[in-house]
Amino acid sequence: MESGKRCPPRTSVEMPYEGDEVKQLKGELSECILGQWKLCTAGVLLGMPWSIQKRNMAYFIVGGAIGTIADYWKGYNIDCMEIRKKLDAAIKSQEEGKRAMWKNELESALSGNSTK
């Protein structure tokens, strides 16, 4: 492409996009899930004395890993459930809107071809 020339802007039909509500809810869900830290800290603190006593870092690492997995699970399934439900509803609504738009375009295209 020559310098100075720009590509034409894409329309929403050519490039499907996420609505603002979906983007916002995804961001909120990510912040909520990534904001979980208590179980990871507990796992590290429980694994630390065993690691010191046994002189083996495995207990420290395993405790932190199990705590991290537990934090993600708890965040996704318990603490952030309301945001997740809102996000699911927003995505479903957006998909229904897209289906209706494509259905209308298909019907108008077919009706335009049948009159020719």
pLDDT at 16: 52
Once rounded to an integer, what is the mean pLDDT over residues 83-95? 92
pLDDT tens for 29-39 read 999 999 999 99
Angle subtended at Cα 28 by Cα 26 and Cα 29, rounded to the nearest 5 degrees: 65
Q: What is the mean pLDDT of the chain?
A: 84
Torsions phi, psi for 15 (to 5 deg): -135, 95
Single-letter amino acid, residue 59: Y
Give the length of the chain. 116
Q: pLDDT band at 9, cuts 50/70/90?
A: low
The DSSP symbol for 67 reads: H
pLDDT tens for 49-87 read 999 999 999 999 999 999 999 999 999 999 999 999 999
The DSSP symbol for 3 reads: T
Three-class SS string for 2-17? CCCCCCCCCCCCCCCC
Q: pLDDT band at 5, cuts 50/70/90?
A: low
